[in-house]
Amino acid sequence: MKQLFADDNAKKNPMGDDTKYSRAIRVPQYEPSNVKPNLESVYDLTKYSKLIAKINKSGVSEEEKKFLKFAASRHIVFTYSKIADYYAHADKEMQELMEESALVILDMDDAIANGYVALSEKMKQLIEEEKARDAKAREAKDILKAQRELAHKKEKEKKAKEKKVEQAE
């Protein structure tokens, strides 16, 4: 079974032993375990539960609590190697729902159909646009700094000339 996500124990460098300039792509291969994990073992609710308790005790409005609870779900930690094991033992309907939620990605066609590749491309585009804006802002800042330094230098030279004229008189 081909999976497009890294195992939790995978190397931190996704390029493996390649140099940092390598464009080599290595798709991790996954071999399912013979054991179906308990569903509760594939996620960790520790941070999420703490936030929910704090939100429930807060004095914010119900609408704000609802929003904060949605946001708190970002703190649920998933263990993807166990999710993959669970997927391998799940029924067809569960597998399809897991694929649609991008808990597993079996192939690029599925990723494209579910919009994950397009999202990735859009993110790349936004990052490049942000980098270009940052570069322009740094360039403008450098120009202003150089202009200020030049003006300061000219002012200093002017004062030095005036002082020489005064001393000569």
pLDDT in tens, the chain (169 residues): 444 444 444 444 444 554 555 555 555 566 778 889 999 999 999 999 999 999 999 999 999 999 999 999 999 999 988 998 999 899 999 999 998 888 887 666 665 556 655 566 777 788 888 888 989 999 999 999 999 999 999 999 988 888 888 887 7
pLDDT score for 62? 97
Q: What is the pLDDT of the chain when averaged over all its residues?
A: 81
Could you tell me which of 28, 22, 83, 74 has the C-alpha nearest to residue 48? 74
- Scanning 44-115, the segments in alpha helix (DSSP H) are 46-57, 62-72, 80-89, 92-100, 108-113
pLDDT score for 155? 92
pLDDT score for 12? 46
pLDDT score for 8? 45
Q: 45: which 2 tokens?
A: 């609710």
Residues 6+ apart with CB under 8 A from 85: 32, 33, 35, 36, 37
Rounded CA-CA distance 31/39 in Å is: 19
pLDDT score for 115? 62
Please report how many Cα atoms fall inside a 13 Å half-sphere around the Cα of residue 78, on the Cβ side.
Answer: 16
Rounded CA-CA distance 98/90 in Å is: 10
